[in-house]
Amino acid sequence: MGSALRETTGDRRFLWGLQDVRPLVSAWRGHGEGLRPLHLDDRERSGCYGRIEPAGLLRFPAWAPFLHGLEPYDQLLKTVRDTVADPAAVLEFAYDWRLPVEVNGALLADAAHRHLERWRNSEAERARLDDREARLVFIAHSMGGLVTRAAFARAADLAADTRCVVTLGTPFLGSVKAAVILGGNRSDPLPALPRRRMQALAATLPGVHDLLPDYRCVDVGGDVLRLTPSDVAGLGGDKELAAQAQDFQRRMRASGAPAMPGHRAVVGVAQPTAQSLRLESGVVHEQYVSFERDGEGELARDPATGVPLRRDRAGDGTVYRDSATVPGTVAESWLPLQHGALAKDGVALAHVRAVLTEHDRNRGPALGVGGLGLALPDYVDAGTPWLARLTPAPGEELDSHAGIACSVHDAETDRRIGTGRLGWHDGGIAASVTLPAPGLYRIRITTEGTPPLTQLVLALDPTDAI
């Protein structure tokens, strides 16, 4: 959902990516058509696209249930444009994230070829003192990394024209969060209307089904199974779209497609992240553990009981850590950040800058697996206190909040408007926060020695009908 979308006919109104948060809140909780215009219709499902078009990458913070807010890409774009020899060398590729990854991959491959040809023939390129031939560098966040991988599978000659690929929090093996979205998280006690609208939208979108886990993640006690199209239909998704997504993944694995050239993966760690799930009567129950493998790559079991061995590998809050790389990755860098912050945090941007300038012999700064985790609700009531909970990295302890600070910022301007009071709550450290009015806010946790943690949260008017 990182690209703005608009209609191609009539007044070409924006359907996603608005600056004003009020229509956004209304879309999730108000009356009227809500998100219906974004649903894939029958013509689009048959491959007749064009009713909706991308209108650039997100420039303003957005919010959707389950996703903890979506950060804009302005800082990432500025970093890239300020780093390269000429801003004209940069192609901003927005895409209709509702559509299949395979479709968007083909569009990206074509756009990349055209862009490289234009640049090689430009006056700016001919005037360079460096005699190396210009080549492509792809920088992709989240689903954008899947689109990039699909582009290489689509166009075999793209690899020869590419120097490297940088992915930031890309769910190469899928995300349990996609199954949670399709299931509507009926066990969640928070207001149901936003969740139901998100589930209804997601059930029509091939792009969401392409994000389903492509690894054994369904815990059935004595074994761990793959999610099947029938499972997806039972929890609220579309069986046909799930089958098509799994077929695409199988073709990607079987095609022998070359690895993305010079692939560097920036991976979020230390954040509480769903890694597996249980299915009970069509309800998805997230599990914050993964399953160990033995030396043969098979499911590891306890020698005494035969029970599968479980371990919390964490991730970026959306993408499980081990889902964010693929075979052939040149280097992995780990950052204790939330999913959205991987495309805007200063350390992540410094890594991107290092790759672009090729001063990356050590693949950027030394990045450990330590750091804090941050867990927020999707949305809260304005004027009512709630808790922003801090968690240690797996295997570590958080025994004090000394040196940690919590601040509250307006999401659009990043202006600081308040603080959160840190203390012990239910055996853990949390910040008590009260948001003054309905709107979109950014919570920032700062501590010495690690990058700041940020996450968006939507404050709703408690008197609104739900």
Q: Smallest Cα–Cα separation from 38: which of 60, 61, 62?
A: 62
Q: Looking at the domain 1-214+221-273+315-369, which fold is it?
A: Rossmann fold (3.40.50)
- Do residues 176 and 274 lie in contact, with contact meaning Cβ atoms separated by under 8 Å? yes
Given a cut of 70, whether residue 326 has pLDDT beyond it is yes
Given a cut of 80, whether residue 120 has pLDDT beyond it is yes
Domain ranges of the chain: 1-214+221-273+315-369, 373-460
- Residue type, position 264, single letter: R
CB contact set of 399 (below 8 Å; sequence gap of 6+)? none
Burial 173-208 (b: 16+ CB within 10 A, else e): bbbbbbbbbbbbbeeeebbebbbbbbbebbbbbbbb
Q: Looking at the domain 373-460, which fold is it?
A: Immunoglobulin-like (2.60.40)
Q: What does pTM read for this prediction? A: 0.87
Tell me the longest C-alpha to C-alpha distance in the chain: 70
Q: Which strands, in side-by-side order, build the sheet including 3-7?
A: 14-16, 3-7, 52-57
**Within the chain, how many helices (H) and strands (E) appear?**
12, 22
How far apart CA 137 and CA 165 sit, in angstroms, is: 6
- Here the tokens at position 380 are 């809260």
pLDDT in tens, 245-291: 999 998 887 766 567 999 999 999 999 999 999 999 889 999 999 99
Which pLDDT does position 397 carry in this prediction? 80
How far apart CA 201 and CA 465 sit, in angstroms, is: 21
- Here the tokens at position 45 are 């499902």
pLDDT in tens, 338-364: 999 999 999 999 999 989 987 444 444
